[in-house]
Amino acid sequence: MEEQRNKKDLEMERREERRKRRQRNQIIVYTVMLLLVALTAFGVVSLVSAISNRNTEQEVEQQQSVQDSTQSALDELVSTEEELPPVSQEVVELTPEQKLEEIVNAAIEVMPIEDKIAGLFIVSPESITGVKTVTKAGEGTKTALEKYAVGGIVYQAKNIKDADQFKEMLNNTELWSKYRLFLGVEQDLGDNGPLVEKGLMETTLTPKELAATGDAAVALSTGDKLGESLSSYGLNVNFAPLADLSGEKGYLDGAVYLSDNIVLNSAFSTGLTAGMKNQGVIGCLKYFPGSGSAKKVAEGDMIHSEQSLEDFMTKDFEMYRNAIASGVDMIMVGSFSAEALTGDRTPCALSQTVVTEYLRGELGYQGIIVTDFLNQKSITSYYESDVAAVMALKAGCDMLLAPEDFEKAYQGVKEAVDNGSISVQRIDDALRRIYRVKFADRVQ
């Protein structure tokens, strides 16, 4: 950005220099014209004086002096003009990254703060329309998106009747939005997802079947087919794959994990996201910092991992480090707690230690960080929607996925921005990461 500003400053200096040159040229022309008029007038007076025999030696000397002064002034102006440094006409071509940054900044600068805040939310269609089950995008959706310019919408099986209905709903939703939307589902491998459930796509290989091939090229082709199916309906985000290393008797079924091998999981999960991206669908690796060891706590709805700091560092972090190096666009932080990382039972998605210190800092991730679904009991049983939303943003998350009460969560963030506990700069930083992904196709 600094280099870009320097180039802009240089161009402004060049424009200013050209303006000054035009002004000097105008001064020369006007001066010459005035002096010519003066000489002509003086000549007439001299002629009249000569005819009347009143032309004295002093008048001749005065005429010569005026002519000399005129010539001297002209010579000085011309000399000054010739000494001006040449203005370079070189046009500096921006790199694709610089062009993308220009597009992103231009989009964000004109957004009112209300739209900026709403743009951090990915919500269910029901949460903004007030309709119990949304299966079409009509006036209710249009009105809702005019009021709340959310950043994305996530759909479930209940929103799908058939292929034509689903396509039309997504197409209309996109048309009603003032800004680009993430339109997403959570379609995992095998038969685990709404599109397979509703018969809108074929079942893929299960995680275990995929891992058993031992061939990363199969992961790429599987991701490509998955992305092709999703994009055919207008979807552009998939909250998958589950990239975590499998654990023993965790809160998730062990069959949904790929394997417990760091290298294999890294290659296969990034292959899946690369294949989806080939079809215009952003994959989201989940659930950082690693859910394989997380279990439900007996006394309530909390999900907790008792894995050691060393195991997180040497296993799960290494898997995510490899995936990050491949250029993944989005990572989801889990709703479970990991006391070895945080020192308490705060859900990872709400923990600054997990999100900012480890994922952003230790692993150097610069893409979009999205929360786990905030309407889960592991969140709602312990935090109000507004509190969870504010905590997640302060922790370092960029997008807030499916809060239980969207309006309450939105108002909570707005109040935090209004009172200064969350800065506008923090909101803008999150939006820049979001829009770098949303607008990436504009510079390809």
**What's the confidence (pLDDT) of residue 94?**
86
Residues 79 and 100 in one domain: no
pLDDT at 187 over 50: yes
Amino acid identity at 350: L
Sole residue written with tokens 């299960």: 206
Q: Whole-model pTM?
A: 0.80
Residues 308 and 422 in one domain: yes
Structural domain including 226 reads 96-443
198-216 per-residue burial string, b: 16 or more CB within 10 A, e: under 16:
bebbeebbbbbebbeeeeb
438, 182 in Cβ contact below 8 A? Answer: yes
Strand order in the sheet with 337-338: 294-296, 303-305, 337-338
Q: What CATH number has the domain bearing residue 391?
A: 3.20.20.300
**What's the confidence (pLDDT) of residue 38?**
47
DSSP state for residue 374 in the 8-state scheme? T
Which distant-in-sequence residues (6+ apart) come within 8 Å of 185 by Cβ? 154, 155, 156, 193, 194, 195, 230, 235, 237, 238, 239
Torsion of CA 23, 29, 30, 34, to 10 degrees: 160
Distance CA 185, CA 175 (A): 19
Residues 76 and 104 in one domain: no
**What's the confidence (pLDDT) of residue 255?**
87
pLDDT at 50 over 50: no
pLDDT at 442 over 90: no
In the chain, what percentage of residues exceed pLDDT 90? 74
State the total domains in the chain.
Answer: 2
In the chain, what percentage of residues exceed pLDDT 70? 79
Tokens for 440, please give them: 């990436």
User: Is residue 264 in a domain?
Assistant: yes
Distance CA 246, CA 368 (A): 24
Among candidates 192, 293, 282, which has minimal Cα distance to 237?
Answer: 282
Residues 78 and 100 in one domain: no
259, 303 in Cβ contact below 8 A? Answer: no
Which distant-in-sequence residues (6+ apart) come within 8 Å of 66 by Cβ? 38, 39, 42
DSSP state for residue 121 in the 8-state scheme? E
User: Is residue 91 in a domain?
Assistant: no
User: Is residue 190 in a domain?
Assistant: yes
Residues 176 and 206 in one domain: yes
Kindly report, residue by residue over 155-178, the tens digit of the pLDDT: 999 999 999 999 999 999 999 999
**Mean pLDDT, the chain, integer:** 86
**What's the confidence (pLDDT) of residue 2?**
45
Residues 260 and 404 in one domain: yes
Residues 128 and 72 in one domain: no
**What's the confidence (pLDDT) of residue 60?**
43
Q: Tell me which of 291 and 254 has the higher pLDDT.
A: 291
**What's the confidence (pLDDT) of residue 22?**
52
| Confidence label for 204 from pLDDT (cuts 50, 70 and 90) | very high
pLDDT at 31 over 70: no
Helix axes 385-395, 424-438, angle to 10 degrees: 80
Tokens for 425, please give them: 């700069």
Measured CA to CA in angstroms, residue 212 lies from 41, 144, 205, 253, 264 at distances of: 103, 46, 10, 18, 10
Residues 131 and 229 in one domain: yes
**What's the confidence (pLDDT) of residue 90?**
67
> Where is mean pLDDT largest: 12-26, 48-62, 243-257, 335-349?
335-349
Residue 32's Cβ-side half-sphere holds a number of Cα atoms within 13 Å equal to: 11
**What's the confidence (pLDDT) of residue 415?**
98
Tell me the mean pLDDT in the region 115-132.
97
3-class SS of residue 290: coil
**What's the confidence (pLDDT) of residue 66?**
44
3-class SS of residue 152: strand
User: Is residue 248 in a domain?
Assistant: yes
Tell me the mean pLDDT in the region 348-373.
98
| Confidence label for 403 from pLDDT (cuts 50, 70 and 90) | very high
Task: Compute φ and ψ for 183, nearest 5 degrees.
Answer: -110, 110
Residues 322 and 426 in one domain: yes
Domain boundary at 83, 110, 128, which?
83
**What's the confidence (pLDDT) of residue 249?**
72
Residues 230 and 197 in one domain: yes
Kindly report, residue by residue over 81-118, the tens digit of the pLDDT: 445 556 556 667 889 889 999 999 999 999 999 999 99
**What's the confidence (pLDDT) of residue 53?**
43
Task: Compute φ and ψ for 81, nearest 5 degrees.
Answer: -65, -40
Tell me the mean pLDDT in the region 251-276.
94
236, 183 in Cβ contact below 8 A? Answer: yes
Q: Tell me which of 254 and 146 has the higher pLDDT.
A: 146
Residues 221 and 76 in one domain: no
Amino acid identity at 34: L
Supply the DSSP string of 210-272, one letter for each residue. HHHH--HHHHHHHHHHHHHHHHTTT--EE---B-SPP-SS-SS-GGGS--S-HHHHHHHHHHH
Count of other CB atoms within 10 angstroms of residue 131: 15
User: Is residue 335 in a domain?
Assistant: yes
**What's the confidence (pLDDT) of residue 251?**
85
